[in-house]
Amino acid sequence: MRPARCEYMQQASAKKNNKGLSVLEIVVAVGIMSLVVFSLGKVNETALRLSSESADRSEASLLLNEGMEAVRFLRDKSWGQKISLLTLGQNYYLAFATSTGYMATTTAPSLIDGKFTRTVVFSEALRDEEDTLASSGANDPSARKVTIIVSWQNRDSYSENLVFYITDILEN
């Protein structure tokens, strides 16, 4: 009979060890689940931040394009009154003028969509001896180098810029 009792004791002892292992397994499983949930939360947070930054960069790109089109429109409207009289190197901002029905330059900055600032700077357009636009040479009074900068701030400061040249092609 003793051997049967020993088997019973061994089975009872094995069951106690299984209970202890079950609690340890639950603690490890909860730890792993917590780590997975935390990691997924961080991945989601990063994805949302990158999505927001991408949307802002897309908006900035559209604002740069709109600024370029507005400058071209002003050139076509009247080079002599809308472009050539502007102070070179001065920061200008584009604003919709209700009196004229189109964009006009102003020296007063304003936020676009409560977030973006669009700055337009006109500079000399220089030509070399071959009459090609260059970084040095003689000033061409019938051309301007235009730099448009769109800046905004989220957690960090961001900016996108566009540089192009315009000329008085319509001679107006």
The confidence score (pLDDT) of residue 112 equals: 94
Q: Cβ(96)–Cβ(103) under 8 Å?
A: yes
Q: Cβ(94)–Cβ(105) under 8 Å?
A: yes
Query: Residue 172 carries which DSSP code?
Result: -
The confidence score (pLDDT) of residue 101 equals: 85
Angle at CA 125, nearest 5°, toward 122 and 127?
Answer: 175
The confidence score (pLDDT) of residue 155 equals: 84
The confidence score (pLDDT) of residue 12 equals: 57
The confidence score (pLDDT) of residue 165 equals: 97
68 by Cβ neighbours in 10 Å (0-12 / 13-18 / 19+) ranks as middle
The confidence score (pLDDT) of residue 98 equals: 87
The confidence score (pLDDT) of residue 24 equals: 85
With residue 61 as reference, give the H or E element that holds it. helix 2-77
Spans of the chain below 70 pLDDT = 1-21
What's the CA gap between 102 and 16, in Å, rounded? 84
Which residues, in sequence order, are bridge partners of residue 147? 121, 163
With residue 39 as reference, give the H or E element that holds it. helix 2-77
What's the CA gap between 35 and 56, in Å, rounded? 32
Up-side HSE of residue 23: CA atoms within 13 Å toward CB?
5
The confidence score (pLDDT) of residue 153 equals: 92
Q: Where are the domains of the chain?
A: 2-167
